[in-house]
Amino acid sequence: MFASLAKPVFCSALLFLSAAHAGPWQSRIEDTVNKAQKPEREIKGPRRTVWNLDGGIFFSTDGHLPNGSCFRLSGQMTAPDFFDGLRRVDTADGTTYVLRDKVVTVYPGELFVTLHLLDFPCTLDLKDSVVRPPLTRDLMSTLRLNFFWKDGVAMRPVESSKRTAAAARRLDSYATGPAADELAPRFEWNYAFTVTGEGVPLTSDLVIIIENEDRKIAARVAARL
């Protein structure tokens, strides 16, 4: 369904995988300072903020296509036995990642990425009554998916990626009776990929870019720790 610049090229067969969130969103679980019940104005010690990364990395953004279609792109990046218990610790000296009391600096060798595309309003303005074209199978087949590792401003393609599953599910219509039959069907599209993370530092972001057939960016989002 997606073509890709990452290797190998993804095929267009449809296989099912749900991209529903499997865990909590990242949250700040600690915001402390070395103090002994002193007033805030007397604080001298360094502040430490700890982020809970259980369940993996979540991301979402909105996209649009030249024909007027709009969509919501969301997803998750996970890896077995890696993100559960992973903590990001921010201090004045920098950022450290800790997994089960051990400092880790690189991603595991294989990461799992799920993507979920859903027809979505181009605007939440209720006065906008324009009917947008749905994301059809033919339209989806023209899109290209690219994975990059981003370190600062530098981006490089991932060394290897593979699509492992894909599916389309027709959405139920709010309309009933004859009016429902006149509406164009709309779908949700779910995909699963494996991405190589061997030797990639945790400070790098996985950037997901979807391009239309004219190679213009339709959506871009980063999975970052």
**pLDDT tens-place string over residues 59-77:** 999 999 998 889 999 999 9
Domain boundaries, the chain: 3-31+48-223
pLDDT digits (tens, 9 = 90+) for 135-154: 888 899 999 999 999 999 99
- pTM of the predicted model as reported, rounded to 2 decimal places: 0.75
Q: Where are the alpha helices (DSSP H) in the chain?
A: 137-140, 178-182
CB 70 within 8 Å of CB 128:
no
**Cα separation, 149 vs 200, whole angstroms:** 8
Burial 32-54 (b: 16+ CB within 10 A, else e): eeeeeeeeeeeeeeeebebbbbe
Residue 127 confidence (pLDDT): 65
Facing residues of 33 across strands?
A: 47
Question: On the CB side of 213, how many CA atoms lie within 13 Å of its CA?
Answer: 8
The least confident of 37-41, 172-176, 204-208 is 37-41
Of 52-56, 80-84, 164-168, 219-223, the range with the highest mean pLDDT is 219-223
